[in-house]
Structure 1
Amino acid sequence: MSLMNTGCSHRRYRKRNDTVNTKSRKAKLPNMDLDTAASYAEILGLVTILGAAVYSWFQIKELRRSRDSTTAMSLAANFQDEDFVVGLTAIMNMDFDASEYKHGDQKATVEAFKQQCGEDWPKVMRVLTTWESIGVLIHRGDMDFHAFYDLFSGVIIKTYETFSFFFEPIRENENDKNMEWFLWLADRVIEFEKEGSGTPPAHVAFADWRPPKRVQ
């Protein structure tokens, strides 16, 4: 009888152990599933972040291209302004005798300057104030320097050299803000070319350029 009781006890014990082990395995399954889900969620999050970064990069590139295009168009629009064109033409063809201007007497220099420009004086000032405005915009990052350089590098250097007798006294006075951004812009263009970053004239630098084929 005792042997039978002992056998029954062993069977009940094994049965309880099997039940406990089964419950234990069942209890572990959800933990494994949660770990797997967490891993997948982490991977998905990483892919999402990378996708957003790539998308942002393309968006920034497209916005920059759009901004550069807008900048070039706004700069080129100056050539459609009659006063600007007349003023720029006058500057390109002026021949000043610097000895006629009194160094240090800005009022007399400006008056002689006006006499030299004659009726084109307001249009010449239109060009100078345009350079001044562009200098501010480029410094603030609202206009692309390279688009400006491609269109106007030659004429802004010519403007600076032509009127150097007028601008040099301004430089000597650190508190004089007349044409400050024009001077800043001219300096940047000159430095850009001295560093070797400038380009030769377009007909030389881009002689091998060919337009893309027309899409049928």
Structure 2
Amino acid sequence: MARVEGKVALVTGAGSGLGRADAIALARESAKVVVTDVNEEAGRAVAAEVGGVFVKQDVRSEADWAAAIGAALSLGGLDILVNNAGIVIVSDIENTTLETYRLINAIHNEGTFLGCKFAIEAMKERGGSIINVASQSAIQGFPGVISYAAAKGAVSSLTRSVAVHCRDKGYKIRCNSIAPGQIETPLLESVVGTGVPNIGHPEDVGNLVLFLASDESRHINGAQLVIDNASSVFGGPV
């Protein structure tokens, strides 16, 4: 019960859903956890639940990233970053406005970019693990959330480039992405409703994040791990 003992983790968007599950899994295995969210009430509740520290954060803001990283450094350093924060707006290509497209990409794509950039600076002397949350929708295609799918595709590509950069620089920083699909969260419910067959649970994703955060995955770098119960094979909702 101490797979990440002595490590400091920062989880964005941890006030609910997958982020909350990630924070719980990391704390359960003895990590110190910085919980961030734009929803202060929800974020503080999760921080109290896991015995962690809360920082209000909009992942589009460089100043907020500096504050979040600073909170991790005050706990001893940054070893694990989970870029999880995100939103979804249901809209297909014909009905999506440029404003909506830019908003979704700013949160998912630019937010993940900033997280990686700030984390590398904090981790490059000590090493660490960056885990970016992509989506099965970027692999399979899901036209009802065109902006979200496009942004998550960018997250996947960014992840691979960050991994190679850190390897080539000699930093002991791994960067991987996960691609969840059919996980029982408020975000999924907002897209496909309830009653989804063969649905996964946030804890399933939390366990995968824990593995990638731990030294057990020390030779996994630049990978995208799919966690979707074969929805991409059978064409189920993502």
What is the TM-score with the length of structure 2 in the denominator?
0.26
What is the TM-score with the length of structure 1 in the denominator?
0.28
Bigger proportion of residues as helix: 1
Bigger proportion of residues as strand: 2
- The structure having more radius of gyration, on CA atoms, is 1
